[in-house]
Every structure is written in C-alpha cells, then in structure tokens.
C-alpha cells in the first residue's frame, strides 16, 4: 500500500511586495510504500524541507497532487502522521514531561506521567523529566523532538534532519530508534545530510536537485553492484613490483597492497600470488559510497 503518493508537485514562492517568483519544487514525483525507511537527499536549497512541509500541511502546493494514506482528508491524515521539523524548537517554559503530555493530547491520547517518563527514557532523557525545555541543549531538543514525533503512535513518521546536532552516540541512538519504530511497521521518511547514516538505515533513497527528483531507488540500485576497486593485501612474494602491471601497488616493509580496477583480473592475480609462494592476507572489494554518488550526481 502506498502511504504517500506525490505527482507533479510544484511550489512557487512569491516575495511579499515585489511578488518575485522563486521555485521551491519543480514537478516532483515521490511514492513511499508502507514499511519503508525512505531517505531524501539533496544539497541545501534543493527542496527537501519544502517537500516535507507540504506533506505535513505547513505549506500549500502551488500545483500537483498529493495523497496521504490513499485519499484521507488533511486532518485524518495528520492523525496518522508524526513530524520532526528541522532545527526544532519547543515551548521553553514547559518541562519535558509537560511537553510530551501536551502533544499526546493533540492526538486525543491521555499520556500518564509514567508513560511520559517512559517515552523520555526511550530517547535518553530520563534524568531531565522535570527540567524546562529552555534549559535543554541542542542534542536534548533533537531527542525530545523525536519523542514528540512518535507520541501519537503514527503510522508515518516524517523527520527533517533528525540526526543534526547530535553527537555520535546520540546519532547512533536515534538511528536505532528509527530502525526500531520501522520494525514495528511504521513508515519513515527522512532527510539528512549525513549520507553514511542514510546509507546505513534506508531501504530506498531519492535525490532531489533544484526541486526535481533526479534519482530514486534502493541503495544497491543507485550504487550498483559493481565494485569501485579491489584491494589485495599479500606478503612473502619476491619482487612484488612485478604486479604493477595489474594496478597500483604500495610496497611496505613486509606487506604489499595491490589495488586492481577490474573484478575479472582478481582471481588471476590471487592465483599468481599463491603460485609465487605468496600469502594472501585479505581481498577487499571497495564499493562506491553514497556520498561519492551524491557528489557525482550534483556535479552532473
């Protein structure tokens, strides 16, 4: 079942006085299936946040079609939707517990104090339950932001840069939580600049550039099955420089590193090393990273 179906979405911003146009989204198509973790990638100003804001009802599209949960009306759809905005901000005079109980009530859910504490503990804020939000650090705001996005037990969770402002441990925890809620059948759409994180948890990604969807697919589809190069580590071979004909070689005291471009020559090289009395330490196929692909796509 499609959770989200966007067709030919256009968003044009107009400046207040001169009515000067600027295009935010330019004919974007996006489909998200139930149960996916979908990563939305793109450089700054590509239209990621605009897309997420249109999905969550903060902006109105200029034209195009957007269907959430089939044909549900905006309020019914938002009842099944959770959202974490980019650089979130919350009521500074409320405590963490009060904030979560407030948001839960907007989904017509009465959260007990115990439940609120559990939710805060889930994002690592169990020691800051009665602390006012105004005294929270950026990382803590991001964590409580994630907690509020899932407070209504939504089926579809939209996260705009959920990992920004977090330290490596915090990033790891939020990533684990995203995978955990996904394991409970929730669909997740998130934008991120941290490509290694996207690569680690997303089932599919879409790359937006200048308001247009440039590429969609699974990480494997996008990066391809081909390896970028193969690195062979070997030792105990006399005259290792003779392997230069196969590729770039780095000779160290006792170990040699040979980088070959083609998979076809791999077996031949390995066989030759063994025949010359050498010892294979490792054969590592190095694949293209999402980051490299992303940068290439932008440059294109």
Partner 1 sequence: MNKILTIAENTFKEAIRDKILISITVVGFLLMASSKIFVPISIGQAPKIIKDFGISIVEIFGVFIVIFIGTRIFHQEIERKTIFSIISKPVSALEFVAGKFLGLYYLIVVVQILLFLIFLIFSKFYLRTIDIYLFNVLYFLLFEFLLLDAVAIFLSCFMTPLTSGITALLLFFIAHLTFYLKDLTELLKVPGLSALMNFPYYVLPNFSVFNVKSTVIYHLPLSIHSYLLAFSYSLLYSFVLIIFSSFLYSKKEFV
Query: Exactly one of 23, 94, 122, 200 binds partner 1 (CB under 8 A); which one?
Result: 94
Q: Which of residues 249-278 bind partner 1 (CB under 8 A)?
A: none
Closer by beta carbon to partner 1, 106 or else 295: 106
Q: Strands 255-260 and 227-235, how do they pair?
A: antiparallel
Q: Does 229 bind partner 1 (CB under 8 A)?
A: no
- Nearest to partner 1 of 98, 173 (CB atom): 98
- Write each residue from 14 to 53 as x if it is in contact with partner 1 (CB under 8 A), else as -, in one continuous string: ---------------------------------------x
106 binds partner 1, rule: CB under 8 A: yes
Spatial distance between the Cα atoms of 28 and 153, rounded to a whole number of angstroms = 28
Checking phi first, is residue 145 left (phi over 0); if not, alpha (psi -120 to 50) or beta? alpha
CA distance 14 to 246: 58
By CB under 8 A, residue 175 contacts partner 1 = no
Check: CB of residue 172 under 8 Å from CB of residue 179: no
Asked if 64 is part of the footprint of partner 1 (rule: CB under 8 A), the reply reads no
Which ranges in the chain belong to alpha helices (H)? 48-55, 74-78, 96-106, 113-122, 138-149, 168-183, 195-201, 219-223, 266-275, 290-299
Residue 103 or 294 with smaller CB distance to partner 1: 103
Tell which one of 142, 148, 182, 187 touches partner 1 (CB under 8 A).
Answer: 148
* 108 touches partner 1 (CB under 8 A): yes
């Amino acid at each position: 079942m499609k959770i989200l179906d966007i067709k030919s979405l256009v968003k044009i911003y107009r400046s207040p006085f001169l009515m000067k146009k600027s295009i935010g989204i330019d004919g974007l198509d996006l489909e998200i299936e139930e149960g996916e973790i979908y990563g939305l990638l793109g450089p700054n100003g590509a239209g990621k946040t605009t897309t997420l804001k249109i999905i969550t009802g903060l902006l109105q599209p200029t034209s195009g079609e957007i269907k959430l949960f089939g044909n549900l009306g905006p309020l019914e759809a938002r009842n099944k939707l959770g959202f974490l905005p980019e650089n979130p901000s919350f009521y500074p005079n409320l405590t963490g517990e009060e904030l979560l109980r407030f948001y839960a009530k907007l989904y017509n859910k009465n959260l007990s104090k115990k439940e609120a504490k559990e939710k805060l503990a889930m994002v690592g804020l169990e020691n800051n339950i009665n602390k006012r939000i105004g005294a929270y650090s950026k990382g803590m705001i991001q964590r409580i932001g994630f907690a509020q996005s899932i407070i209504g037990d939504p089926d579809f969770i939209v996260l705009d840069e959920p990992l920004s402002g977090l330290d490596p441990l915090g990033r790891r925890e939020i990533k684990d939580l995203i995978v955990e809620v996904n394991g409970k059948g929730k669909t997740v759409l998130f934008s991120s600049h941290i490509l290694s994180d996207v690569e680690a948890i997303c089932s599919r990604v879409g790359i937006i550039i200048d308001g247009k969807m440039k590429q969609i697919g699974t990480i494997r589809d996008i990066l391809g099955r081909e390896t970028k190069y193969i690195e062979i580590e070997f030792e105990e071979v006399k005259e290792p420089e003779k392997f230069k004909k196969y590729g770039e070689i780095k000779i160290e005291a006792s170990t040699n590193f040979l980088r070959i471009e083609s998979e076809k020559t791999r077996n031949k090289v390995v066989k030759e090393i063994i025949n010359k009395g050498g010892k294979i330490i490792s054969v590592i196929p190095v694949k293209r990273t999402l980051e490299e692909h992303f940068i290439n796509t932008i440059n294109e």
